[in-house]
Amino acid sequence: MAKRIIQTPPDLELPAEMLTIEQAAARIGMSPRYIRRAIAERHIASHHFGRSVRIDPADLAAFVRDNRVEPMTAETVWRGLRSVA
């Protein structure tokens, strides 16, 4: 049986480091269970190598950035109340 050789395209850049679930959890101060759930719900992009799961630090940073909630101001409170009435 001939071996199949797969070459990576030249434009594909691999990240310098990949994080384990535990490392990603420690980096954002959450539990590994939270990270696993976010991966299962496809909130965090991940790479699966057999049973191993790795996370690109850029994908983890995007997850943190996407979950930012801006503080309320008096203007946004009043704008929200006008739409109710």
What is the tens place of the pLDDT at every residue in 45-77?
999 999 999 999 999 999 999 999 888 888 877
Domain count, the chain: 1
40 occurs within a structural domain: yes
76 occurs within a structural domain: no
78: alpha, beta or left? (left if phi > 0; alpha if psi -120 to 50): alpha
Q: Range of 31's domain?
A: 16-68
The conformation of residue 5, written as its DSSP 8-state character, comes to P
Q: How far apart are CA 7 and CA 15, in angstroms?
A: 17
pLDDT digits (tens, 9 = 90+) for 2-44: 677 767 666 777 788 999 999 999 999 999 999 999 999 999 9
pTM of the model: 0.70
Q: How far is CA 9 from CA 27, 47, 78, in A?
A: 31, 17, 53
42 occurs within a structural domain: yes
78 occurs within a structural domain: no
45 occurs within a structural domain: yes
85 occurs within a structural domain: no
4 occurs within a structural domain: no
CATH number of the domain that 21 lies in? 1.10.10
> Pairing between strand 47-49 and 52-54?
antiparallel
From start to end of the chain, where are the E strands? 47-49, 52-54
